[in-house]
Structure 1
Amino acid sequence: MHGGGSTGTAGARHARRLALALALTATYMVAEVVGGLVTGSLALLADAAHMLTDVGGLALALLAIRFAAREPTSVRTFGYLRMEVLAAMANAVVLLMLTVYILYEAYQRFLSPPEVLSGPMLLVAAIGLVVNLASMFLLKGGSSESLNVKGAYFEVLSDMLGSIGVIVAALLMMWKGWSLADPLIGAGIGLFIVPRTWSLLSQVIHILMQGTPPNIDLPTVEDRLMSVPGVLGVHDLHVWTVTSNFDVMTCHLLVTDLALSRETIRAARRIMRDDFGVQHTTIQIDDEALKAEEAELHV
């Protein structure tokens, strides 16, 4: 088992910022519902529904961090570290579903533009923009370290875009009387979310499929391991990601002298740590006889 909880994971380091972003988002969501009901703005009410999914996403992110902090067991030897990745996947799926909803609503409003109080609508959206920018500032640093925080950051980013869209629509309705501004801008927001969400989902799927981390080039790893004195070959080399900033490597090294196994393992671990940032390694040392025996077992 990989001992010790995961309180030091990238997501856990930003738990406090996630909690603050959750509080800001939930508070503004309530204000937006009230504003939508008072002004009769379907745009604000739809954005409030959008905010509701973000509240759920941020709460899910915090829940994932709590689960990830649990100690490993004999059944789950890596503990609950993958909860971060699963939470990020859930966030990505929700965002894609939300995009479909936004495009549907934009279509409905294009057919029948709603009449709203554009002045109060503008005020509520402006407050929302400030809240979203504050939440983005809280989460931006962690979004480059943790997929979980990255998913939450994208949800807040999509909210920020929603606020900007509502502001622009309100201004166009106030100054130009253009009622179609709301559905057209809504559709643009929905389409803008898609590539970023797809990128996040692709990263999550790559991790769940135990793909090689993007920063690791396996031929380079093999070349560096082959440079260790006494190493004749490298086989069964695998590098994958358990959760954000937690990569794992396993391999077999074919050596000339089993008596030098300790020195060989130390050198290989040092290469993986210093050159590739991989701290968790499992290295099996083989000679020609052991390799032949292993080949027979796999026949």
Structure 2
Amino acid sequence: MMSAPDPHHHHQHSGHAHDHDHAGHSHAPKVSAGNERAVLIGLLLTGSFMLVELIGGVLSGSLALIADAGHMLTDTVALFLAWLGFRLGRRPADARRSFGYSRLEVLAGLINAITLFALVAWIAYEAVQRFLEPQEVLAGPMLVVAVLGLLINLLVFRILSTADADHVNIKGALLHVLGDLLGSVGAIAAAIIIWLTGWMPIDPILSVLVSLLILRSAWALLMRTFNILMEGAPDGFDPAQLQQELLANIPGLAGVGHLHVWSLSSGQTMATLEIQLAPRADPAKLTAAVRDALWREHGVNHATIEIDWSGEGAACPAQSPGGSA
């Protein structure tokens, strides 16, 4: 039976079988140059127009524009952190960081989420102030700047969409830009309503509605990055089900224990497990079969497999109350 190419091979020593790299292979994932370039272009465009929108918001007196400029500021910071994460992620692994620097992208994603929450809080505060003390908004300048902002955000969104949208850093950047798109649409709607009716409260009202949409995106991003940092199982992984699947599909496998599955970063799934052999099972072939199944069926990039020669299957201390990893 043909299988997907395996990035690792194994050897046995002192009763253990582990996966190791081919000569010259690093545990650190390759950072896509396309992702880095897309983020850099988005950074330059967003940072430049953020200044334009801030000036336009102050001159027109529009909270919707100022809020969107504030969001674009967090976008600029977030895109810079994403770009920095890609840049540092290209650094090779060393003796102290054998998996390289790829987890920096997850930290950048976490900061992205936190800045989104801070932005929502600021918009809400400013909106309350506007309701208490209404301010005149100049609809004409507001509309021009909002339309330009929409065009810039659409361009940045398209550029980032050509990159890997499943990457946590790209996903974070896309969520920021999506929030900007919504902010621009809200600002355009507010400008048109003010121009036609003169009703000023629409400006803070639309700002709050946009902030609620941003809040939803921020929560999803926060939960994703938090799960990675807490070494939780990736979405769709059920360790107990995976354990049963391996036992059912791999002949000669008598037991699976001490199974841990987690993500190092986006697209980098890791696993450690202990297996027990059936009588007369070939250790080398069995560990290769387990490793192949993890890679082919579940995309596990790196698996460390230990053979339990005792056959007793002791409980895992890391999964016991009071135990340590």
Residue of structure 2 in register with 1:245 after alignment:
267
The C-alpha deviation readout for 1:148-180, integer Å capped at 9, x for no partner, is 111111111111111111111111110011111
CA distance in 2: counterparts of 1:257 and 1:239, whole angstroms: 27
3-state SS, counterpart of residue 14 of structure 1: helix
Give the C-alpha shift of residue 38 in structure 1: 3.8
CA distance in 1, matches of 2:30, 2:311: 42
Task: Kindly indicate whether residue 92 of structure 2 is the aligned counterpart of residue 71 of structure 1.
Answer: yes
Which amino acid is 2:272 matched to?
T
> Which residue in the other structure is 1:228 paired with?
250
Question: What runs of 5+ residues in structure 2 fail to find an aligned partner?
Answer: 1-19
Work out whether 1:24 is the aligned partner of 2:45: yes
Q: Which residue of the partner structure matches residue 121 of structure 1? A: 142
Which amino acid is 1:128 matched to? G
**Equivalent residues of 1:258, 1:285 under 8 A apart:** no
The letter for the 2-side match of 1:239 is V
Could you tell which deviates more after superposition, 93-102 or 144-153?
144-153
**Aligned partners of 1:262 and 1:7: how far apart in 2?**
26
1:215 deviation in Å? 2.4
SS at match of 2:130: helix
**CA RMSD in angstroms, aligned pairs only:** 2.5
- With a CA cutoff of 8 Å and minimum separation of 6, indicate the structure with the bigger relative contact order: 2
Decide whether aligned partners of structure 1 residues 63 and 5 sit closer, same or farther in structure 2, where only a CA change above 3 A counts. Answer: farther
User: In the aligned structure 1, how far is the partner of 2:208 from the partner of 2:66?
Assistant: 16
Which of 92, 96, 108 is matched with 2:113 structurally? 92
Q: Is 1:188 aligned to residue 209 of structure 2?
A: yes
Aligned partners of 1:9 and 1:244 also within 8 Å: no
- The corresponding residue for 2:151 is 130
CA contact (8 A) 1:113 1:183 kept: no
Q: Find the aligned partners of 1:15 and 1:204 in 2 and give their Cα distance.
A: 19
CA distance in 2, matches of 1:220, 1:199: 25
- The answer to whether structure 1 residue 254 and structure 2 residue 282 are counterparts is no
* 1:41-74 residue CA offsets vs partner (Å, 9 max, x unmatched): 4443332222111111101100011111111122
Residue number in structure 2 paired with 1:282: 304
1:224 shift after superposition: 2.9
Alpha-carbon offset, residue 123 of structure 1: 0.7
TM-score, normalised by the number of residues in structure 1: 0.91
The answer (yes or no) to whether the contact 1:5–1:71 under 8 Å persists in 2 is: no
Show the counterpart of 1:48: 69
| Deviation, structure 1 residue 27 | 1.8
Unaligned stretches of 5+ residues in structure 1: none
The amino acid of 1:270's aligned partner reads D
Structure 1 window deviating more from structure 2 (99-108 vs 218-227): it is 218-227
Calculate the TM-score normalised by the size of structure 2. Answer: 0.84
Task: Give the structure 1 partner of residue 26 of structure 2.
Answer: 4
CA distance in 2: counterparts of 1:193 and 1:66, whole angstroms: 27
Distance 1:65 1:286 in 2: 39
- Secondary structure of the corresponding residue to residue 185 of structure 1: helix
Cα distance between partner residues in 1 of 2:50 and 2:42: 12
Does 2:295 align with 1:273? yes
Q: Is the 2:252–2:277 Cα contact (8 Å) retained in structure 1?
A: yes
Letter in 1 for 2:274: H
Per-residue CA deviations over 1:195-214 (Å, capped at 9, x if unaligned) read: 11101101111111111111
Q: 1:168 aligns with which of 189, 202, 224?
A: 189
Higher helix residue share: 1
